[in-house]
Amino acid sequence: MRKSSNGDNSLIEEDVSTGGPDDQHLFGGVWTRIKLEALEKYLVAFNTALSKQRFTRIYIDAFAGTGRCDIKVKGEKTSIDGSARRALAADPGFHKYCFIELLPKKLAALRSLEAEHPGKAIEVIQSDANAALKALCAQYRWRSERAVLFLDPFGMHVEWATLEAIAATGAIDVWYLFPYAGLYRQAAKNADALDADKQASLTRVLGTGEWRKTFYSQKRQTDLFGSDEGDERNADHREMLSFVSKRLKGLFPAVTDPKVLYQGGDSKKPTGAPLFALYFAASNPNPAAYRLATNIAKDILNSL
């Protein structure tokens, strides 16, 4: 694998063994369907459960895309509804929809959803998701609002500080498609390859520098100057994901175990490399509320 830049700071891996670009950023795959099905089912369950309560229900799509997704499954290309369209189709619906997207070329498609759904309160925000989410979290008092947030980045884009702001609301349920492959690609096997950008990215996403001690151990004798050259990652990708789960469980009142999404096969018989880990996290500290939310999410994850 060779890393190349796509200008928006996400990782695009070029698979040198097959000679072509990894389709992960051009086309979704089997994982795209799974994450979207989970989200869609949860949105209906959430709105149904809260429909008799006085809360204003908000849907926040922090990496909204265009409302459509191109996917390639078993070599066959097709286009399916993306998260924004699925959220708008949820019945019962939300009182408000916030679609956040960084890339200007995707905004027109998102804005056309406003015209398609004239009765719905849709806000399209052109911004980096971290900045927009922190602003949204600060905008409400979260007493009479409840929200579902979909975090669906391509790579290592969600800052830990953003997750802290979300958890502090006590009112947002989160589906987080964690970039599992992004994590183990950034955390190079040999620590000598961990440049300053990679280290900063890992710390930004995990919210601590503790990953260094947990993932790496000393291979060669530390030299007289205390250099850590030659350290090797001894944590395999499962152990790295356990670290992520532990971090999330320390921040949110309730977090499901992740559903790992793979490159190929299907949900029951996956094949290929693990690409993402789909988490559900509830920020509501009320045990009755977070138990209900996580039980619904677990049932959905088990059904996929």
Q: Is 157 in the site for ligand SAM (CB under 6 A)?
A: yes
Binding test (CB under 6 A) with ligand SAM, winner from 13, 37, 70, 128:
128
For the segment 178-207, give every residue that binds ligand SAM (CB under 6 A): none
Question: Closer to ligand SAM at the Cβ: 207 or 253?
Answer: 207
Q: Which residues, in sequence order, are CB contacts of 298 under 8 Å at separation 6+? A: 256, 280
Identify the helix (H) or strand (E) that includes residue 246. Answer: helix 237-251
Q: Is 101 in the site for ligand SAM (CB under 6 A)?
A: yes
Say how many C-beta atoms besides its own lie within 10 A of residue 10's C-beta: 16
Scanning 114-122, 153-161, 189-197, 245-253 for contacts with ligand SAM by CB under 6 A, the matching segment is 153-161
Identify the helix (H) or strand (E) that includes residue 150. Answer: strand 145-151
**Shortest distance (Å) from residue 223 CB to ligand SAM:** 39
Binding test (CB under 6 A) with ligand SAM, winner from 30, 38, 73, 102:
102
Cβ–Cβ < 8 Å for 269, 275: no
For residues 56 and 145, give the distance between their C-alpha atoms in angstroms, rounded to a whole number: 5
DSSP character string of 44-104: HHHHHHHTTS-PEEEEEETT-TTSEEEEEETTEEEEEE-HHHHHHH-SS--SEEEEEES-H
First-residue to last-residue Cα distance in the chain: 30
Scanning 89-97, 99-107, 134-142, 195-203 for contacts with ligand SAM by CB under 6 A, the matching segment is 99-107
Q: 3-class DSSP state for residue 244?
A: helix
Site pattern 27..56 for ligand SAM (x: CB under 6 A): ---------x--------------------
Question: Closer to ligand SAM at the Cβ: 34 or 244?
Answer: 34
**Shortest distance (Å) from residue 125 CB to ligand SAM:** 9
Binding test (CB under 6 A) with ligand SAM, winner from 31, 94, 97, 154:
154
Q: Is 65 in the site for ligand SAM (CB under 6 A)?
A: yes
43: closest CA among 78, 79, 95?
Answer: 95
Contacting positions for ligand SAM (CB under 6 A): 8, 36, 63-65, 69, 82-83, 100-103, 106, 128-129, 152-154, 157
